[in-house]
Amino acid sequence: MRFAGKVAVVTGGAGGIGRASARLLAEQGAKVVVGDLNQAAGEAVASDIRAAGGEAAFAPVDVADYESVARLVQTAVETYGGIDIMFNNAGIFGDGSQNVIDMPIEAYHRMIAINQHGVYYGIKAAAEQMRAQGRPGVIINTASIYAYIADKNQFPYHASKAAVIGMTKAAALELARYDIRVVAIAPGMIDTGLVDQWRQDERVWNTIQKAHMRRKLGTADQVAQVVAFLASDEASFVNGHAYFVDDGAASFKR
């Protein structure tokens, strides 16, 4: 119960990585606010956590809208009395169909609004509340190995995830004086709804698997274990960096 007495907010909490993390944080004692655009799925996650004996509430959020993110943090304050852990995790992926020239500018802006601005809003809203509380906090941002290595036809995704790494460093430096740690995770390909679009195509699926040293996608639970570690006091000297959770995918030439 390493998170007993702590309050965590998880964006994208209805999806693969967010759901697994919300469950694990709750299992280890945190009171969790599950935030997501998908109301039905988010409510189901919160109610599953409660059924398993944990504490959780769902709150709708669109991370592309600052007011919405600020309301999400406020829900944590009103429901559980504050916020100790903010997991800025909501994100979308491209369909890989268009290159940097042909992709509509609107598609770029949408990706940046969710994956990049959404993380900024989460950092800002959570840190403001944490500073007001006057006690230590942790902010975890979901980046990707695609912050570091390029794939074709995912231009805005790369831009957004590289920005998450930059924001993590800058926020960690600025928030250190309030004893708020800011870290990121950089997952490889994880078997969630995000990669569903390629599941039926055997050739593409094999290529994705082979991108990892042990030739398998990761699971959301494997990522959640790292999220929980980073959120815990055991990671008290980890700050301003991204943690790779990628079975070496970003470390070898394929």
Please list the active-site residues.
Answer: 157
Quick one: how far is CA 85 from the chain centroid?
12
Q: Write the burial class of residue 146 (CB in 10 Å: 0-12 exposed, 13-18 middle, 19+ buried).
A: buried
Candidates 72, 125, 184, 190; binder of ligand NAD (CB under 6 A) is 190
For ligand NAD, the closer of residues 133 and 193 by Cβ is: 193
CA distance 27 to 204: 36
Candidates 144, 154, 168, 239; binder of ligand NAD (CB under 6 A) is 144
- CB-based contacts of 38: which residues, under 8 Å, 6+ apart? 14, 15
**Residue with smallest beta-carbon separation from ligand NAD:** 15
Nearest distance in Å: CB 207, ligand NAD: 14
Candidates 77, 103, 112, 195; binder of ligand NAD (CB under 6 A) is 195
Determine if 16 is a binding residue for ligand NAD (CB under 6 A). Answer: yes
Nearest distance in Å: CB 134, ligand NAD: 29
Q: Write the burial class of residue 106 (CB in 10 Å: 0-12 exposed, 13-18 middle, 19+ buried).
A: exposed
Sign of CA dihedral 193, 205, 228, 26: positive
Site track 77-116 with ligand NAD (rule: CB under 6 A), x = hit = ------------xxxxx--------------------x--
Nearest distance in Å: CB 89, ligand NAD: 5
* Binding segment toward ligand NAD, per CB under 6 A, in 2-10, 12-20, 70-78, 172-180: 12-20
For ligand NAD, the closer of residues 71 and 131 by Cβ is: 71
* Binding segment toward ligand NAD, per CB under 6 A, in 1-9, 94-102, 120-128, 192-200: 192-200
* Binding segment toward ligand NAD, per CB under 6 A, in 25-33, 49-57, 183-191, 231-239: 183-191
For ligand NAD, the closer of residues 15 and 137 by Cβ is: 15
Site track 36-65 with ligand NAD (rule: CB under 6 A), x = hit = xxx----------------------xxxx-
Q: Which residues bind ligand NAD (CB under 6 A)?
A: 11-12, 14-18, 36-38, 61-64, 89-93, 114, 142, 144, 187, 189-190, 192-195
